Structure 1
Amino acid sequence: MAGTAGSAGATGQLGANAPTLSIIGCGKLGRTLGRLWHDSRTFTLLDILNRSSASAQEASAFIGAGSAAASCAGLRNADVYLIAAGDDQIAACCNALAAAGKLQPGSIVFHCSGALSSLELAAASERGAAVASIHPIRSFAVPQQVAEHFAGTWCGSEGDAAALAVLGPAFNAIGAQLVSIHREQKTLYHAAAVFASNYQVTLIDIAQQAYVAAGIAPELALKLIEPLLSESAANAFRLGPAAALTGPIARGDMATVARQYQAVQEWQPQAAGLYQQFAALTSDLAQRKKNGAS
């Protein structure tokens, strides 16, 4: 390896001489991680490659280190390369990095996509580099805030052992907690996050719409939803989903469920289909509750 990361991988520890890092596609996520690693002296940041020199310079200023590069060919050889570009650009960036001759056996290339696996980095693997994917499970909307409160962040990780031997301690150094996932199940792993985050927001929206259709003002509807949602979620995390389940299906009151389904069908057929699907899944959960599962 070009710098010191080889010894770090051999021991599983990051030594006093930090491995070198360059970031390709240094947006909100790249800036956050770059700043955390610079402040903790986990990596020595070399170069930042963005679509524009101005953007790369802005990222460098936020991080407090790194030089703007104009192309992959202009990158200095680094021990580790983070490709933090959008999902649709990860493979192309890796191909360009490999074509520029920046990779060799012992190099490490990784990305932070939640939806894509480390197989996107095949061009790096073909040149003997170790590859990985490490996905921080949180939003990076405001890098400054995330950097201040990153400790405790869970990260789904998979990839080559040599890459994880360096990247694991690097993420631990900034307070992350890594959980190992199967490369071939990466898409399902990301779908779980979508269920827990995006679709929860959609359910809140549908519940608000139903309250409004029932004659309640939109702002008040959210106030009615909030305690139901927060208390149900708290109970599910504390007791487990099955034990936390309440409501008509948990009580076996299927007549109420049928009336509700009919009312939703008359209001919005598309939402009625969703209600029906959730009723079936909730019935399974209620059975698990009855059987004593958590």
Structure 2
Amino acid sequence: MHRLSIIGGGHVGRVFGKLWAGAVFDLHDVLARSLPSAQQAVSFIGAGTAADAYAALRDVDIYMLSVGDDQIVPACAALAASVPLKDAIVFHCSGALASDRLQAARSAGAYVASVHPIRSFADPASVAAAFSGTFCGIEGDAQAIAVLEPALVAIGARPVAIDAAAKTVYHAAAVFASNYLTTVLDAALRAYQAAGIPEPVARELAQPLASETLANVFRLGAAPALSGPIARGDMATVARQQQAVTAWDAPTGALYDALVAPTVALARRKHNS
């Protein structure tokens, strides 16, 4: 059983630690910014030894960097300066950054990778209890992937190989599918309210329309699921809506305008398919 240590006591590190410890990997150390934070992570995981300094880390086979994106490079450098990394595996969990940010570990002889679980970790206990089926974007050195991919499968994850050169675009896909979708739905709810509809009722009005649209996109594909004035070629209605929305709220009008051209292109795909 490979030996694992975790750098970073946050939600992602805690979930992977809890799922892997004992069953897949032998968890050794959990390093956090403070000893109380490391102890809390160890308590959640149910295994490992809390540490608050790189000098306290023991030599292991695998090091997981579960730290913020801006801390990956300095954390990797500190790790490489503290423990021998020859033939070890070092990986981070960022969705936006590729494994090339772990150059300090690679220069020290380690094999590097990134593993990005595609879900929200706001409630780590719930995520750990229902992790099975979670997609994880993975890329990196073949020697690292050969160990990490079966380890992910063992806890019910669904590894998906991604192009390291397109890692930032890959992460932007999640932002479109989640964050910006929320922004667009907020615009819809506010527009309903501008028409005099109370916010709770606006949510009731928008929910079946949004839910059915999402279901159609994932069942049929985006182009076949497109409906509405642009799909019908009714650009006069689009122009009136653009003018009315801008008059009501200029930033929301700008958002509406920004979505017209991509939706026109989507409509062409719909009609040309």
Query: Following the alignment from structure 1 to structure 2, what is the Cα–Cα distance between the partners of residues 148 and 52?
Result: 27
Cα distance per residue 1:127-166 (max 9 Å; x no partner): 1100000100000111111011111111111100000000
Q: Could you tell me whether the CA contact under 8 Å between 2:57 and 2:83 is conserved in 1?
A: no
Superposed displacement of residue 69, structure 1:
1.5
RMSD over aligned Cα atoms? 0.9
Instruction: Name 1:21's counterpart in structure 2.
Output: 4
Instruction: Name 1:6's counterpart in structure 2.
Output: none
Is residue 109 from structure 1 mapped to residue 80 from structure 2 by the alignment? no
Report how many residues are paired.
Answer: 273
From 20, 24, 27, the counterpart of 1:37: 20
Superposed displacement of residue 240, structure 1:
0.7
Instruction: Name 1:141's counterpart in structure 2.
Output: 122
From 22, 46, 53, the counterpart of 2:35: 53
Instruction: Name 1:79's counterpart in structure 2.
Output: 61
TM-score normalized by the length of structure 2: 0.98
Is residue 232 from structure 1 mapped to residue 213 from structure 2 by the alignment? yes
Cα distance per residue 1:170-198 (max 9 Å; x no partner): 11110111111111111111111100010
Query: Following the alignment from structure 2 to structure 1, what is the Cα–Cα distance between the partners of residues 52 and 32?
Result: 8
Amino acid at match of 2:163: H
Query: Following the alignment from structure 1 to structure 2, what is the Cα–Cα distance between the partners of residues 154 and 250?
Result: 32
Query: Following the alignment from structure 1 to structure 2, what is the Cα–Cα distance between the partners of residues 102 and 199?
Result: 43
Cα distance per residue 1:41-99 (max 9 Å; x no partner): 10000001001111111111111100011311110101000000111111111100101
Structure 2, unmatched stretches of 5+, are none
Query: Following the alignment from structure 1 to structure 2, what is the Cα–Cα distance between the partners of residues 181 and 37?
Result: 23
Query: Following the alignment from structure 1 to structure 2, what is the Cα–Cα distance between the partners of residues 78 and 277?
Result: 50
Query: Following the alignment from structure 1 to structure 2, what is the Cα–Cα distance between the partners of residues 286 and 185?
Result: 26
Q: Could you tell me whether the CA contact under 8 Å between 2:59 and 2:83 is conserved in 1?
A: no
From 91, 100, 109, the counterpart of 2:73: 91
Instruction: Name 1:13's counterpart in structure 2.
Output: none
Cα distance per residue 1:256-290 (max 9 Å; x no partner): 11111110111112211221121111111111111
**SS in structure 1 of the partner of residue 204 of structure 2:** helix
Query: Following the alignment from structure 1 to structure 2, what is the Cα–Cα distance between the partners of residues 265 and 59?
Result: 49
Query: Following the alignment from structure 2 to structure 1, what is the Cα–Cα distance between the partners of residues 115 and 84?
Result: 21
**SS in structure 1 of the partner of residue 84 of structure 2:** coil
Superposed displacement of residue 108, structure 1:
0.3
Query: Following the alignment from structure 2 to structure 1, what is the Cα–Cα distance between the partners of residues 31 and 271?
Result: 56
Is residue 172 from structure 1 mapped to residue 153 from structure 2 by the alignment? yes
Query: Following the alignment from structure 1 to structure 2, what is the Cα–Cα distance between the partners of residues 239 and 85?
Result: 38
Structure 1, unmatched stretches of 5+, are 1-17
Is residue 288 from structure 1 mapped to residue 238 from structure 2 by the alignment? no
From 253, 257, 264, the counterpart of 1:272: 253
Instruction: Name 2:198's counterpart in structure 1.
Output: 217
Instruction: Name 1:248's counterpart in structure 2.
Output: 229
Q: Could you tell me whether the CA contact under 8 Å between 2:38 and 2:52 is conserved in 1?
A: no
Identity %: 58
Q: Which runs of 4+ in 1 moved over 3 A?
A: none
Query: Following the alignment from structure 2 to structure 1, what is the Cα–Cα distance between the partners of residues 114 and 211?
Result: 32
Amino acid at match of 1:26: G
What does residue range 136-215 of structure 1 map to in structure 2 within 5 Å? 136-215=117-196
Superposed displacement of residue 102, structure 1:
3.1
